[in-house]
A = this chain, B = another copy of it.
Amino acid sequence: MKAAPAIVACIAMLCAAANLSRANEPGADPLPSWNDTDTKAAIVEFVELVTDESGDGFVPEPERIAVFDNDGTLWCEQPLYVQLVFALDRVKQLAPEHPEWATTQPFQAVLEDDHDALAAAGVEGLVEIMAATHAGMTTEEFENIVREWVRSARHPTTGRPYTEMVYQPMLELLGYLRDNGFKTYIVSGGGVEFMRVFTEKVYGIPPEQVVGSTIKTEFEMTPDGPVIRRLPELDFIDDKDGKPIAINKFIGRRPIAAFGNSDGDLQMLQWTDAGQGARFCLYVHHTDAEREWAYDRESHIGKLDVGLDEARTNGWTVVDMTNDWNAVFPD
C-alpha cells in the first residue's frame, strides 16, 4: 500500500465522516463505504429478497447464517498472515529462555530475519514454530499473550494496530446483515483461540460464532483447579474442504451467504451455493495496489485462481476493491 496524497486522504476522511453520520439516521445508507456499483446492488437485492416475508425468496431468521473468511476478507493478510507475524514475534520474545535457538533452525532463521532459511524450513519448520509459540500454556495464558500482542503490535507498512487493518466496507456489511436478522460467523483457517481474543470487539462477532483451525487440548486438574492446556498437536485445519466440514460440525446449518477472498474459501462458497433457495456468494478481489494490495492468481498468500474462474461460471459476486470501495480501512 502506498501513502495517499494528503489532500485525497482529507477528502476521504470528510466523506467517510459524512457517511458515518448519515448511517445513523433512519433510512440512511447502511453501506456508505460501498460505491453505487452492481456489487453493492447485488448485496442489497439479496438482503431484500430473503427478508421480504411476502416474497418467494424469504428465509426465516434462524436460517439466515452468513459465513466470513477472516484473512484477506475481513482484515488484511499482507505482507504476511497476521497470526504468522504473531508467531515470529513470539519466537523473538521467547528466545532468551531458549539459547539453543540461536543455532537451531527454523528458530535461528526467525531470530536473524533470514527469510530464505525460513522458506527452506518449509511446512515442517512452520509446524515447529507454531508448536513452540502456540502450545504448552493454558488457554487462559494463551489468551493473555495474544491480547497483549494485539494491543502492542503494529502493521509493518502502515504502523497501525492490526485491529485497524480491517476493511471498513466489510464492517458495514457485517452490521447490515445483522440488522437484517443474519447471524454472522467467521470460518477461517486462522487459529480459533487467536481470533476469539479480538473478534467480538472488532467485528461484533462473539467467540461462539468463530470457527477456525484448532490444536489439541487436554483437561488437567491442578491444585489451583482445572485448566485446559494447549498441546503441540494439530487437531483440525479449517481450510479448503475443511471449511464446509467445520460449518457442518460447528454450525449444523448450511449458510445462505458466504464471503471469502481465496481458493481456500472455494469449497465454503460451493457448499453455501448448493443449498435450496436464495443464496449469495462473494469474493473480495484484491485489486487495489494504491490503498491496499493487488494480488490473485500468482500470490503465495491468499491465492485466488480457481475461485475466480468458478465465480464467473457460477455468477458469484466479485468485489473489485478499487472500484467498489470508496474506503478500505477505518479512519
A interface residues with partner B (beta carbon < 8 Å): 62, 65, 139, 183, 192-193, 196, 200, 206-208, 210, 214, 217-219, 221, 225-226, 228, 235, 241, 244-245, 248-253, 267, 270-271, 274
Which residues of B lie under 8 Å from residue A62 when comparing CB positions? Answer: 200, 206
For residue A245, which residues in chain B have a CB less than 8 angstroms away from its CB? Answer: 217-219, 228
Tell me whether A250 and B250 are in contact in the complex, defined as CB-CB below 8 angstroms, given that A219-B271, A225-B274, A226-B271 are known contacts: yes
Q: Closest residue of chain B to A252, judged by CB?
A: B207
What are 12 inter-chain pairs, A to B, with CB distance below 8 A?
A62-B200, A183-B208, A192-B252, A193-B252, A210-B252, A217-B248, A217-B249, A219-B244, A219-B271, A225-B270, A226-B267, A228-B248
In the complex, which residues of chain B have a beta carbon less than 8 angstroms from the beta carbon of A228? 244-245, 248, 271
Chain B residues with CB under 8 Å of A250's CB are: 208, 250
CA distance A244 to B270 in the complex (A): 33
Contact of A226 among B217, B225, B274 (CB under 8 A): B274
The answer to whether A241 touches B253, judged by C-beta atoms less than 8 angstroms apart, is no
Output the nearest chain B residue to A211 by Cβ-Cβ distance.
B250
A220 CB to nearest B CB, Å? 9
Q: Give A223 Cβ to nearest chain B Cβ, in Å.
A: 12
In the assembled complex, the CB of A41 is this many whole angstroms from the nearest CB of chain B, namely: 27
A249 to B211, CA, bound (A): 9
Known: A207-B252, A221-B270, A226-B271. 12 other contacts (CB 8 A): A62-B200, A139-B248, A192-B249, A193-B252, A206-B253, A207-B253, A219-B241, A219-B267, A226-B270, A226-B274, A228-B244, A228-B248
Top 4 A-B pairs, shortest CB-CB distance: A207-B252, A219-B241, A225-B274, A208-B251
Min CB gap A277→B, angstroms: 14
Residues of B within 8 A of A274 (CB): 225-226
List of B residues within 8 angstroms of A249 by Cβ: 192, 214, 217, 235
- CB A137 to nearest CB in B, in angstroms, measures 13
**A314 → chain B closest CB, angstroms:** 11
Closest to A65 in B: B208
- What is the distance, in angstroms, from A194's C-beta to the closest C-beta of chain B? 11
Q: Which residue of B lies closest to A143 (CB)?
A: B252
Name which residue of chain B comes closest to A225, CB basis: B274
CA distance A176 to B235 in the complex (A): 36
Are A252 and B196 in touch, CB under 8 angstroms? yes
With a CB–CB cut-off of 8 A, which chain B residues contact A235?
249
- Taken together as a complex, chains A and B put the C-alpha atoms of A228 and B235 apart, in Å, by 19
Give the CA-CA distance A292 to B205 in the complex, in Å: 42
